[in-house]
Copies of this chain bind each other. A is one copy, B any other.
């Protein structure tokens, strides 16, 4: 399911670990590039793809013998004070600089909001115009009874658009395929995978999404918008550095994990706000689904960003309303203006709502299950090469076109209802509720009204309550079956594809179908039923509650249905939680991203921290020989090394980071003898030299060029050592250590011995040591307790 096998294939060493050696470790399992290992595992357990096999390799590999862990992932360090040096710098920072920092932070939020809003509008405009042109062409040919030409035009245009999207995705940025929400979620959890937020990914995400949606696939632009927002935030947060010296100087304040992740959280929220035109929903989405750590300051900044998006969208839509935007529709800030009056509801109505919730939950979890299976199948196809990716996309495109054009023939023509106010029947022009299709004048084909429309228009039709007999039961049934299955098989192909729209579409059809069937027992409106059905599917697949509720609220602008929507969401989530995880969590797990859950699994209470730490460690002395450091950096991929002071007894001095060591060695300020730097260090280096570099911009071991003479010299590690790393005793329960690790967002956790008289450090725990795959690999007896 990962489409990045073509890039960086050269630096893929040592089994299935991708790591390009920069400061931002890669967190991706590159299963897709290892056909053999994958096909071996096909019948095996897919739930432990990454670490089990790796640790098996490690225990026998050279590297494991030399040092310790080979997990090259540098996870998030959420500590405020990373080392004394930066702390010193902040102390002496002038007021002007602090003002610059604050001003810049807000400016960046403003820019993120602005650009995400503009991209959102651009995306909508492009899709509406391309898809509208395509649909107009088709329906004009239909009117002239040229049915075959109509199909050829329709399917041909779809295929061309799909191929464009697939080519972009396969050749330019494989990371842009799929929804992007799981990746953003993983990033905010501390998993850095730099191509995920690269400029090329942004480019492909925007244009791939436009082509994909315009190609008539049942995919949404919401997930891609979230990813786009995150990419924009990433680019703005570290961008401009090479070209504009001024920007570079200012942006150096953002060269740390905390600020970067804050910006990307804002970007994700802005994406949702732009996709659904739901500013509050965007904030809640970022809070509930995206972010792993949350502070109230972040709420405040996220809110500002989404407010900017809302203003941008509003102004541009106002501009477009005057007809300047081609075929762009009449949408206001609210997408689906349902306004179905909610009557007083009674017991049968509530029972119907409970029914919708329960079965929505079942269908939702089934959806997740099937998506998972399909993704695993597709990953086998996709990894064969770009040609296969393209072929898969074209096949699905053809299938979609056949369904969209073919299935409406099964439906009968329905005479137009009388007394329509807002709509014309049959529809002339691009979109509308009453598509003529093959029918004689004065009639419409209800299935065509759903299939031969953009996804948004189809949803709007389903939620409409003007004419409750607009869609017949067989129509809804066929559409539901088709859309449910097409949605499942479409996710995972090499185009940017969101999950929101297909789920809402299937859910709304399901809800309207139930509403028609139960119409005799309930006096709720069919449009309201459709909305509740959409809510139940969203709850069943995504397992978000508050944010979906608010998004639906902002989409439909109807507060009075809030209690019913809440009830449906609660039921469907509760039901679906009994079967499997939310769809995004599933994808994160399947991609092998080492995601740290907020809760430690129960079996970790039976283990202690010392149980999962493996040694021997590579340690440095306070003043260490350059050659030793260089060798250690070259041979291992560790990102943190303990520093030991040997006086009377060995004593833990602290922890030093790989990236800081590289900067130190690059600086070449070495001494002939074992002596301390003292205050002269501050003259040699500037604090910002040690600030975290952007994705792929950090130093690598290969960048060092040290002579043999230099190798024999010494360097004082004290100035760059974090002298008070967080520590736990080896007898602390693993669950408790995991809570510490997760809550503080650590990258390394030092394990110290309980009893005295032993070496001062037992081991270092990293993110990978807490992964179920690793722990259960070491202690398989807990598997049955799981």
A residues sitting closer than 8 Å to B (CB atoms) are: 79-81, 87, 90-91, 279-280, 283-284, 287-288, 294-296, 299-300, 303-304, 307, 310-311, 314, 318, 332-334, 344, 545-546, 549-550, 553-554, 557, 559-560, 562-563, 566-567, 570, 573, 598, 600, 605-606, 608, 648-649, 651, 723-724, 726-729, 731-733, 735-736, 739-740, 743-744, 754-757, 760
Contacts and interface: CB of A to CB of B under 8 A. Distances in A.
B310 A91 contact: no
Nearest to A729: B724
A64 to B, nearest CB: 28
A299 B310 contact: no
Contacts of A724: 608, 728-729, 731-733, 736
A539 B723 CA distance: 42
B546 A280 contact: yes
12 contacts: A80-B736, A90-B605, A280-B546, A283-B546, A287-B287, A300-B546, A303-B549, A303-B566, A303-B570, A310-B566, A651-B755, A726-B728
A559 B727 contact: no
Given A280-B553, A284-B284, A726-B728, 10 more contacts: A79-B736, A80-B739, A300-B573, A303-B546, A307-B567, A553-B559, A649-B756, A651-B756, A724-B729, A756-B760
A79 B735 CA distance: 10
Contacts of A732: 724
Contact of A300 (B87, B318, B545): B545
Contacts of A744: 739-740, 743-744
A598 B736 contact: no
Instruction: Output the residue of A283, A557, A726 with the most chain B CB within 10 A.
Output: A726
B733 A87 contact: yes
Contacts of A311: 563, 567
Contacts of A332: 560
Contacts of A81: 605, 733, 735-736
A314 B91 contact: no
Interface centre among A284, A300, A344 (most CB of B within 10 A): A300
A550 B551 CA distance: 12
A605 B80 CA distance: 10
Contacts of A562: 279-280, 310
A566 B728 CA distance: 45
A598 B559 contact: no
A214 to B, nearest CB: 29
Contacts of A554: 559
Given A80-B739, A303-B566, A731-B723, A91 B546 contact: no
A560 B333 contact: yes
Nearest to A600: B80
Nearest to A557: B559
A756 B296 CA distance: 41
Contacts of A727: 727-729
Classify the interface of chain A: helix, strand, loop or mixed: helix
Contacts of A79: 736, 739
Contacts of A287: 287, 299
Nearest to A106: B574
B545 A299 contact: yes
Contact of A288 (B299, B546, B598, B739): B299
A318 B344 contact: yes
A754 B760 CA distance: 11
Nearest to A307: B566
Nearest to A724: B732
Nearest to A314: B563
A269 to B, nearest CB: 11
Pairs of residues from A and B, 3 with the lowest C-beta to C-beta distance, nearest first:
A724-B732, A307-B566, A310-B563
Most B CB within 10 A of own CB, among A81, A318, A740:
A81
Contacts of A295: 598
Given A570-B307, A724-B736, A729-B724, A550 B87 contact: no
A284 B299 CA distance: 11
B740 A726 contact: yes
Contacts of A294: 294
Contacts of A334: 559-560
A605 B280 contact: no
A82 to B, nearest CB: 10
A243 to B, nearest CB: 32
Contacts of A553: 280, 559
Contacts of A570: 303-304, 307
B566 A598 contact: no
A357 B79 CA distance: 35
A335 to B, nearest CB: 11
A739 B77 CA distance: 13
A102 B743 CA distance: 24
A573 B554 CA distance: 24
A281 to B, nearest CB: 10
Contacts of A723: 731
A81 to B, nearest CB: 6
Contacts of A605: 81, 87, 90-91
A774 to B, nearest CB: 21
Nearest to A647: B755
A603 to B, nearest CB: 10
A80 B735 contact: yes
Contacts of A733: 81, 87, 724
> Which of A87, A91, A318, A545 has the most B CB atoms < 10 Å from its CB?
A545
A565 B652 CA distance: 54
A283 to B, nearest CB: 6
A648 B758 CA distance: 13
A299 B294 CA distance: 13
A606 B90 CA distance: 11
B549 A280 contact: yes
Nearest to A563: B310
A365 to B, nearest CB: 17
Given A605-B91, A739-B744, A754 B545 contact: no
A743 B744 CA distance: 7
Contacts of A344: 318
